[in-house]
Structure 1
């Protein structure tokens, strides 16, 4: 995964853009045991702590992960009045990329999307393409975003276009009308 995409997708979980979800499998694996889930959670939280420690060593005092390993980068960005495309943040994420863990499958407890939520995701993709992100992918039939997403690292101009499109299109994910663009507003995750 390219660095620019990793930054976008890593911060997407903060709420500004939809986070890519794991590709659904045709086979349904057996439900994990309580012990397996507890061990996976411990490993994931420990990995997230290592990533946070690395980010802090890079000069970004992001918060500790919660009990489920979630790191609220959005609160850090808001407090620092920093856009998620900040070059220093991107450099830190590149330096710490090997430590950033993905959520283990046994910890994912996502409900299937309703037909209405799926339509909102399709409309979001159309909105993103219409507002400066022409290669924004459609969600799959299950509503999940394809792995690999946008494909390449974004240029500064593309990053600006992405920030603009996110600001305009975010409400669409909840079935609301598009927002107006405000260049003075910093979009945080």
Structure 2
């Protein structure tokens, strides 16, 4: 009888303790042995879900980053963020804080993204944005405000986005 009483009292206490010591989050971190948290891969999130989570983090750090757009049903594109209106220090801190949420393409898609990025850069230069940069090794662009302020930038981007969409949908590559 005494054992049953102890079990009956300890079981709820154990459940309350376990519940109190755990937290619910979005799965972005895993506890490590030393008590610190480290980023972990989130293969269960789609590319779009990863992009939305990253954009929310950026907005949470005072950078007006809109959610990504779906491209051809299997890729995403970020656009519309005018980072030249954001203090460089704020932008740098936001990028550092949100790096763990930056969308990650499967390795099999990365080569396609890099190739599309190279074609996009070439297209932008051919359409009048002479100083448009080459892509980084991961396919991203580091576009500085002088390039974004080029009067040829908006029409060239519209043209090159359409060409990229056509290249993606034709099966030659996808973002």
* Greater relative contact order (Cα < 8 A, sep 6+): 1
TM-score (norm 1): 0.40
TM-score (norm 2): 0.43
